[in-house]
């Protein structure tokens, strides 16, 4: 962590200074129109790290996100460099270039003020909340699998020339502070005794102890961590859970990639699947007399299958279209004969098979850390009844631990989901 | 390539300006003493990219290396950023911290002048030249295996905390220009039709054609290239051939890491082995009536075995001592029971087995590119007799192609070297 005091301090905005700022920026002024008198500023209080303002008038509605040199949640106690917003903006711009339909439009970025202004998403809501409410998202699997295929393929050595990619790697490798959080919260603390961990106690004590003493499981997690640390395959969102997605029935937008860094493709896919599976298990607690949530629960599993299968198909299509990047470069593999095609297909099959195994591994790691580590998710934490919650958490941990301790290779996403179907 | 004209131009030194420069730098002035009148400056003309001056007087002897914004060999036609010397200096300092015995001492670095001043190595000679002359290096395998173990382990996630490593990755990932040369000259051009390639023609035409049309071989090379592009395992020298090593019977110094970048550990090991094997094959042509070079030839194979086996042993020792880095971190794996030890040993065995297979792959790739690509080595190129040279080159290519086209896994370095023993 950097010393907060040593950093150039961007001033926290309030309603008045934000309005004055808009008036001072011709580009923003123009968006809101000549008359700024009706501009309304509301601070939205649900970010952990940053300040977010929704700014509206009769002509426009924009979201202003400001990073101060500390974590918002800590009230100033925890120093964090403001540069995290620059990494987030750079990642949004890169993903926006590759998959514009799924990224909010960025209108403005001010390094000095550590301020980013983006499209105000409405009536989109955070996916996690929607899923808890049982809202169906019929287009989501198609959208997010397109986003994943385009962004992961598009920032990999299959698409980029090596020099361009190295420069991007160099830029995002400087995002050390947020990477350190990822490494600690996902791969370290949950698998050792740490004051940061919390779980439903005493109900889960034994399960947690068993996980933290399961050598095979911890070696698998260490292998997944080593891959996170060393494999610069593609630019990751690196925090792609259902709280980083805003959507409607027709539209999907990925937000908050402040943890962005180059890493293994499987990480983004796995984190997403892990969070969807947590929601799947939690649905049991949301059953009411009217709605036992059984249909919704199974639609979540179907969604996971569709995401992987959609990603698989779209990634293959991109691979077959081009391979313009440094790996498997055009000129080396332009043979159009059957043997060459078959050999290249077999390389791709192996690549995607390894990607599936590692995605499954990251999904299971995420399920454990969200249940016994520092940062939980509301899908489960909102369940007030301790016994019911512990019961669900045990199922989540049992499913995830089973995956991580076994050397099993999964032939398909369906095979991986089978035990989850049996669990309920 | 960057436009040479757009760069801040460091002025090329000559004898007079270099003397004046020394007088202006108190630290250097002190090394040469009060009297600079006897300082002698000799330009050494054997670098491809940089200018090197040997500067001596009765009190001191130093090597001055200057990078100008173009490649020395091109006479100014080929633009290259001067920053390459900063990467080289940073790598020498990092390797010097980890393995001080094997790195020349750096006395001075001047960004503005793009000038680095280091220990003058004497009576050390370039290893490639010594091997051509049949000089024995009885301590080399021990030295270089120590260097490799300390530097590769020491800059990996086994030793470094992730934030420190990410910052180093970020710095060296900016070394794009020289990485581009590595990627093109080693992995691309030799395996396709390219005007840059050259080989003993027509004797090798058929062999070259066969290599460039061997799909299995090219897929293996593409896989090795993908690993070079994506696996940030350790800080590589990235040009560790026998021309980057200066030595005596007792001392070994690694120089010229201007291509330094984070990449797969196997790359450095493989490039070194590949160059030693080329020399092994070339020895056949150096036989005289007095000395058939048979003993020397076999000492080269023995040297390669000792390098790998020494590296293996020293790397294992470092791993067992600590694992203080982000991967397999202390707190997670401190169990001292038999099961934990066995499991960790098995992880290490797998890691080193994969490292051996990939090292062998990079060695074979290097042997091919040095024979049919742009940059040859004098071990073979100095053989005047076309027929004899082509015969040796065919053996080199045959050995390397056999390795790259086969899915064989080698159990040991000895098994890998077996066909080379049979070849002569």
pLDDT in tens, A247-269: 999 999 999 999 999 999 999 99
Boundary (domain end) residue, out of B69, B92, B119: B119
| Chain A: residue whose CA lies nearest to B172 | A170
Tell me the shortest Cα–Cα distance from B334 to chain A, in angstroms. Answer: 10
Do A196 and A68 lie in one domain? The reply is no
| Whether A215 contacts B340, CB under 8 Å | yes
For the domain that residue B292 is a member of, what is the CATH number?
3.90.1200.10
pLDDT in tens, B289-344: 999 999 999 999 999 999 999 999 999 999 988 778 989 875 556 556 778 888 88
| Res A1 pLDDT > 60 | no
Can you list the alpha helix ranges (DSSP code H) found in A283-385?
294-321, 338-372, 378-381
- Three-state secondary structure call for residue A154: helix
From the list B163, B229, B326, the residue facing A162 with the nearest CB is B229
CB-based contacts of A1: which residues, under 8 Å, 6+ apart?
A: A78, A79, A80, A177
Rounded CA gap, A139 and A355, in Å?
A: 24
B170 and A171: CB-CB below 8 Å?
A: yes
Task: Render A73-136 in DSSP notation, one character per residue.
Answer: GGTTSSB--TTHHHHHHHHHHHHHHH-GGGSPPEEEEETTTTEEEEEPP-S-EEHHHHHHTT--
What pLDDT was estimated at residue A191?
95
Do B173 and B66 lie in one domain? The reply is no
Its ipTM equals 0.94
Do A16 and A139 lie in one domain? The reply is no
Does a structural domain hold residue B324? yes
Does a structural domain hold residue B96? no
Do A206 and A267 lie in one domain? The reply is yes
What pLDDT was estimated at residue B332?
53
**Chain B hits for A171, Cβ within 8 Å:** 170
pLDDT in tens, A283-299: 999 999 999 999 999 99
Query: Where does the pLDDT of residue A71 fall: very low under 50, low under 70, confident under 90, or very high at 90 and above?
Result: confident
Rounded CA gap, B266 and B285, in Å?
A: 30
| Whether B34 contacts B22, CB under 8 Å | no
| Token pair 């011709």: residue | A26
Mutate to test the interface with A, among B80, B162, B211 (most CBs of A within 10 A): B162
Q: What backbone phi and psi angles, to 5 degrees, belong to B106?
A: -95, 125
**Chain B hits for A179, Cβ within 8 Å:** 162-163, 166
Tell me the shortest Cα–Cα distance from B139 to chain A, in angstroms. Answer: 33
From the list B223, B331, B347, the residue facing A219 with the nearest CB is B347
What pLDDT was estimated at residue A52?
92
Does a structural domain hold residue A99? no
**Chain B hits for A166, Cβ within 8 Å:** 173-176, 179, 261
**Chain B hits for A326, Cβ within 8 Å:** 183, 225, 229
Boundary (domain end) residue, out of B95, B119, B143: B119
Do A214 and A113 lie in one domain? The reply is no
Do A113 and A132 lie in one domain? The reply is no
- Three-state secondary structure call for residue B104: coil
Tell me the shortest Cα–Cα distance from B351 to chain A, in angstroms. Answer: 11
A162 and B180: CB-CB below 8 Å?
A: yes
Do A165 and A115 lie in one domain? The reply is no
Tell me the shortest Cα–Cα distance from B170 to chain A, in angstroms. Answer: 4
What pLDDT was estimated at residue B321?
86
From the list B162, B166, B222, the residue facing A332 with the nearest CB is B222
B170 and A173: CB-CB below 8 Å?
A: yes
Does a structural domain hold residue B330? yes
B332 and A191: CB-CB below 8 Å?
A: yes
Do A353 and A386 lie in one domain? The reply is yes
pLDDT < 50: residue spans in chain B:
1-8
pLDDT in tens, A90-146: 999 999 999 999 999 999 999 999 999 999 999 999 999 999 999 999 999 999 999
What pLDDT was estimated at residue A336?
61
What pLDDT was estimated at residue A5?
41
Q: Count how many pairs of residues, chain A against chain B, have C-beta atoms within 8 Å.
A: 127
| Res A275 pLDDT > 90 | yes
Boundary (domain end) residue, out of B119, B143, B174: B119
Does a structural domain hold residue A98? no
Task: Render B67-102 in DSSP notation, one character per residue.
Answer: --SB-GGGTTSSB--TTHHHHHHHHHHHHHHH-GGG
What pLDDT was estimated at residue A46?
60
Burial degree of A351 (CB within 10 A; 0-12, 13-18, 19+): middle
| Chain A: residue whose CA lies nearest to B155 | A230
B229 and A157: CB-CB below 8 Å?
A: yes
**Chain A hits for B347, Cβ within 8 Å:** 219, 222-223
**Chain B hits for A328, Cβ within 8 Å:** 222, 226
Does a structural domain hold residue A413? yes
Count the domains in chain A: 2
From the list B163, B175, B347, the residue facing A176 with the nearest CB is B163
Do A309 and A368 lie in one domain? The reply is yes
What pLDDT was estimated at residue A6?
43
From the list B170, B179, B188, the residue facing A329 with the nearest CB is B188
pLDDT in tens, A326-340: 898 755 566 567 788
What pLDDT was estimated at residue B9?
54
Do A279 and A341 lie in one domain? The reply is yes
Does a structural domain hold residue A351? yes
Q: Which two tokens stand for residue B343?
A: 């499991």
Alpha-carbon Rg for chain B in angstroms:
22
B162 and A183: CB-CB below 8 Å?
A: yes
Q: Which residues form the domain of B50?
A: 4-27+34-82+104-119
Do B404 and B308 lie in one domain? The reply is yes
Mutate to test the interface with B, among A327, A335, A349, A365 (most CBs of B within 10 A): A327
Do A164 and A64 lie in one domain? The reply is no
Candidates B75, B388, B91; CA nearest to B237 is: B91
A157 and B333: CB-CB below 8 Å?
A: no
Does a structural domain hold residue A30? yes
């Amino acid at each position: 962590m950097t010393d907060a005091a040593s950093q150039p301090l961007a001033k926290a905005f309030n309603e008045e200074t934000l309005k004055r700022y808009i008036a001072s920026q011709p580009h923003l002024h123009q968006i809101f129109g000549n008359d700024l008198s009706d501009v309304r500023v509301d601070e939205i209080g649900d970010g952990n790290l940053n300040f977010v303002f929704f700014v509206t008038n009769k002509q426009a509605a924009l979201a202003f996100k400001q990073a101060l040199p500390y974590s918002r949640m800590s009230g100033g106690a925890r120093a964090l460099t403001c540069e995290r917003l620059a990494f987030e903006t750079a990642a949004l711009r890169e993903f926006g270039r590759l998959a514009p339909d799924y990224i909010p439009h960025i209108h403005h970025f001010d390094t000095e003020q550590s301020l980013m202004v983006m499209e105000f998403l409405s009536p989109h809501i955070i996916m996690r909340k929607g899923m808890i409410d049982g809202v169906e998202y019929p287009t989501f699997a198609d959208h997010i699998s397109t986003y994943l295929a385009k962004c992961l393929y598009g920032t990999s050595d299959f698409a980029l020339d090596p020099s361009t990619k190295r420069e991007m790697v160099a830029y995002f490798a400087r995002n050390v502070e947020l990477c350190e959080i990822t490494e600690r919260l996902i791969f370290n603390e949950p698998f050792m005794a740490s004051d940061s961990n919390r779980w439903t106690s005493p109900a889960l004590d034994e399960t947690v102890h068993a996980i933290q003493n399961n050598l095979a499981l911890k070696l698998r997690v260490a292998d997944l961590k080593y891959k996170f640390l060393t494999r610069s395959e593609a630019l990751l969102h690196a925090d792609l859970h259902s709280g980083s997605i805003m959507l409607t029935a027709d539209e999907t937008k990925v937000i908050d990639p402040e943890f962005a860094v180059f890493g293994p493709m499987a990480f983004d896919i796995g984190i997403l699947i892990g969070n969807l599976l947590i929601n799947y298990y939690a649905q049991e607690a949301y059953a009411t007399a009217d709605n036992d949530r059984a249909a919704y629960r199974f639609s979540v599993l179907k969604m996971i299958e569709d995401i992987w299968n959609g990603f698989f198909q779209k990634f293959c299509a991109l691979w077959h279209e081009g391979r313009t990047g440094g790996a498997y470069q055009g000129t080396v593999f332009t043979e159009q004969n059957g043997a060459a095609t078959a050999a290249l297909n077999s390389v791709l099959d192996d690549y995607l098979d390894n990607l599936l195994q590692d995605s499954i591994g990251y999904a299971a790691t995420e399920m454990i850390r969200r249940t016994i580590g520092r940062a939980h998710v509301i899908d489960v934490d909102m369940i007030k009844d301790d016994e019911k919650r512990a019961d669900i958490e045990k199922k989540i941990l049992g499913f995830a631990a089973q995956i991580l301790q076994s050397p099993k290779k999964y032939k398909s996403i369906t095979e991986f989901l089978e035990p989850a179907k049996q669990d309920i």
